Structure 1
Amino acid sequence: MSPRSCWIGSALAVVALAGCNNVSNEMVKMPPPAVTVAQPVEREIVHQLEFTGNTRATEAVDVRARVNGYLQKIDFEDGADVQAGDVLFVIEPAPFEAALDAAKAAQQKAEATLALANADLARTQPLVQRGASTEQELDVKKADVATAAADVASAKAALTQAELNLSYTQVKSPISGRVSRHMVDIGNLVQAEQTTLTRVEAFDPIHAYFAISESDVVELMAKSPGTSAASLKANPPTIYVGLTGEKGYPHEGKLDFAEAGIDPQSGTQMRRGIFPNADKLLVPGMFVRVRLPVGSPAPGLMVPDRAIGMDQSGEYVLVVNEKDTVERRSVKLGLRVNGMRVVNEGLEVGEWIVINGLQRARPGAPVKPERTTEIVEAKQLDASNDPAIANSGAQLSTTTPAKASATGGN
């Protein structure tokens, strides 16, 4: 290599080294993440107990024949609404009509025999008085009259039974309700009191049965004495149910029955509500969500569902303090109402909680809070008319935004 080339290379190395010495090694500090915070919503809340139950008909009857015979006619459409007394089936009446005619003839015969016995007795009595007949013969005539009268009574009873049997050939609905499918086809032999022909269920109104635990029974007795088994008839409390897929608990009814005691095997008490069901939307056998109000309305705090996190320690919310630092706050939650949750413990009025950006906030780390008083779920809550919210639409107090701290925040 020539001397000139060596000199050029050395000069370039010196320039490069000088450039490296001017570069800073300090790490650029990232700004705190932006999150949206809001204060808990204050509402007057009616504490509710929630259960799972199922619906049952208020009346249900398996329709059976009361006489033997061959099925002649089916007089209803499967699944139709029927009234008490409507004819559902007709059993072949001819044998029973013949039996009725025979019973009428037997009664006529018995009445004729009685008339003859009375006539014989009337003729015998004067003869006895004149000594032309004996007392023994008179006793025989009186016995003949009594026997004939008994035969008449027996014939009348047989006639009544024959008339009943003929009427039983028309199988009628014992209650008003909705009839199931026919379970026997025309031409089949029907056995009295054995063959089930169909089923009729009345479910307007309809019952909802649910079981409550012993601890809930104790709570109800302490906070809502009117829900005890002894006081239900005088002033039945209101309860609510909702179907799977329905929003909230739109069906309102009354608690009308409670078992006197607690089942020692399950540790629960069976209770029942009754609900109007004119549109037949509720049908027997459905699973329903049941809400039973407990006690009087009391002030409470609510937060959006999206503000709640969960980890191995349980449920929590993230609170932003006056220094714009995130704090993890364990909470005990209550009812869920239209996207909002009741916070029973762990949160105070006026605190700012993270409602958007939970994934960016870390306990102990600073954030840039964007404060808001507009919570979409709260507006929906006011319009929900949910039974858990007393005076739905009326807020107890209006909270004002806290002042921004010196370290940031809008």
Structure 2
Amino acid sequence: MDKFYLTAGLFAALLTGCGKHASRQAMPPLRVEVAEAAVDSVPNRMSFIGYLASNFDAVIQPRVNGYLSSKRYGNGMPVKRGQLLFTIDPDQLSTSMLAAEAQLESARAQAIEARNNYDRAVPLAKIDAISQSQLDQYTAQWKAAEASVRAAEQTLSSARMNVGYAELRSPIDGIIEHTAAHVGDYVGPGTQFSVLTTVSNIDTLTVDVAIPMSQYLRYAGDRTSIYDNEGLLSDIRLVLADGTQYPHAGLYDYTRKDVSSTTGTLVLVVMFPNPDETLKPGQFARVEANVGPVRPRVVVPQQGVSQAQDLSSVWVVTADSTAQYRRVTPGDTYGALWCIDEGLEPGERIVVSGQQKLRNGAKVIPEKR
């Protein structure tokens, strides 16, 4: 009797399994949302990481030696062109100027005496009262005295300039750094304080954009010079650390002369205007720009592309409404679209909704989104 029930149970289980298999075969095709792979003119959008830098720095160097008598600015604060930054004790410089003035007066007096001697010697030479050699001597003394006057004038002019150099003023508008020198330190050429500080221009800030040479050669087109990259970058934008986009667009400035031997990149310098002084040198920056000319690309909605373990794939709906799994090579994203570099042809339909229910070879009912 037990054998009978066991046989009946197995028979019932087989019938149930066959019924389930039959029901799976009889399942209706899934309705899926599809979109066509299209061709669009897509820019080669690239992102670069860097730091903002001053457009140029003005180095503040004392031209004369002396003791620092005052400092007239706050470290790290904005300064204006012509603003007084430092003063050097002018007493020693003023003494040198007074000595140069006295030397000039003496030279002028000697020149007057030499000219008078020459004027008296000329008529005497005409009547042979003195020899020609004596006249030549008076002439030489007069010319030498005049040269001494010119030399003394130059010495006085230099001394006056040195007195003016006792005041150091900012040559540009910008942000000033701190100084290691303190009031009372001996500063100037040949001392440990030959450079006092720098003023950084912040009207315009720059960022280095490093493009791998492989990508540069792909996008550069028929450029005749690797140093002339005007127009290579377009729609240059700066993204700040908090993710917001800086309102002012950037401009290409120049290309640095060397290709990096360690990274194999070509460095282009782009600049951003800073009229409101909201940017600061050293600030982190992400630059986004179109590189090279716009070219046609195969694009699909991003929802249609699945990624797992560095593999990208799509579900393609064939002409007979069959779902086909296919690996693809994606490129850049472009808004809500994804560029597909390999694996998909224009006009092919891909599933953009319901991919998790699909299996390879399954029949589907495609519906355009």
TM-score after normalising by structure 1: 0.72
Alignment map for 1:1-400 (pairs within 5 Å): 26=16, 37-39=33-35, 42=38, 44-54=40-50, 55-192=52-189, 195=193, 196-222=195-221, 225=223, 229-230=227-228, 232=230, 238-243=234-239, 244-246=241-243, 251-259=248-256, 262=259, 266-285=263-282, 286-298=284-296, 300-304=298-302, 306-312=303-309, 314-319=311-316, 326-338=323-335, 340-349=337-346, 351-355=348-352, 360-361=356-357, 363-364=359-360, 366=362, 371=367, 373=369
Alpha-carbon displacement from aligned partner over 1:227-269 (angstroms, at most 9, x marks no partner): 953473xx67535133344357865233232356756665332
- Kindly, what percent of the aligned residue pairs are identical? 23
C-alpha separation between the residues in 2 aligned to 1:328 and 1:117?
A: 109
- Gaps in structure 1 of 5+ consecutive residues: 1-9, 374-410
Q: State the SS of the aligned residue for 1:120.
A: helix
* Structure 1 letter corresponding to 2:172: I
SS of the residue corresponding to residue 258 of structure 1 reads strand
2:42–2:334 Cα contact (<8 Å) kept: no
Quick one: structure 1 residues 267 and 297, their matched pair in 2 at CA, closer, same or farther if it must change by over 3 Å? Answer: closer
CA apart distance, 1:155: 0.9
Q: Does the aligned pair in 2 maintain the 1:49–1:294 contact within 8 Å?
A: no
Q: Per-residue deviation at 1:349?
A: 4.9
- Aligned mates of 2:315, 2:244 — CA distance in 1: 28
Tell me the secondary structure at the aligned position of residue 39 of structure 1.
strand
Please say if residues 35 and 354 of structure 1, whose CA atoms lie closer than 8 Å, have aligned partners that are also in contact. Answer: no
Aligned residue for 2:203, secondary structure, equals strand
Pick closer, same or farther for the CA change 1:281–1:142 going to 2, 3 Å: same
- Structure 1 residues 42, 164: closer, same or farther in 2, change over 3 A? farther
Distance 1:264 1:198, change over 3 A: closer
Q: What is the CA–CA distance in structure 1 between the aligned matches of 2:270 and 2:141, rounded to whole Å?
A: 64
CA, structure 1 residues 93+261, in 2 after alignment: closer, same or farther (shift >3 Å)? closer
1:131 CA drift (Å): 3.1
Displacement, 1:118?
0.7
CA contact (8 A) 2:323 2:364 kept: no
Compared CA separation, residues 227 and 121, structure 1 to 2 (3 A): closer
- Measure the CA separation in 2 of the matches of 1:266 and 1:293: 19
2:39, 2:346 within 8 Å by CA — same for their partners in 1?
no
TM-score, with normalisation over the residues of structure 2?
0.78
Q: How large is the Cα RMSD of the aligned pairs?
A: 3.8
Structure 2: segments with no counterpart, 5+ residues: none
Kept after mapping to 2: 8 A contact 1:220/1:227: no
Q: Does the CA contact (< 8 Å) of 2:298 and 2:345 recur in 1?
A: no
Helix, strand or coil for the counterpart of 1:175?
coil
| Native 8 Å contact 1:319 1:352 kept in 2 | yes
Give the C-alpha shift of residue 107 in structure 1.
Answer: 1.0
Is this contact kept in 2: 1:73–1:89, CA < 8 A?
yes
Q: Could you say what secondary structure the match of 2:16 adopts? A: coil
In structure 1, distance between residues paired with 2:310 and 2:69? 71
SS at match of 2:140: helix
**Distance (whole Å) between structure 2 residues aligned to residue 166 and residue 209 of structure 1:** 42
The CA distance in 2 between the partners of 1:39 and 1:248, in whole Å, is: 31
Contact persistence 1:33–1:361 (CA under 8 A):
no
Residue identity in the other structure for 1:37? E
How many residues are treated as equivalent by the alignment? 356
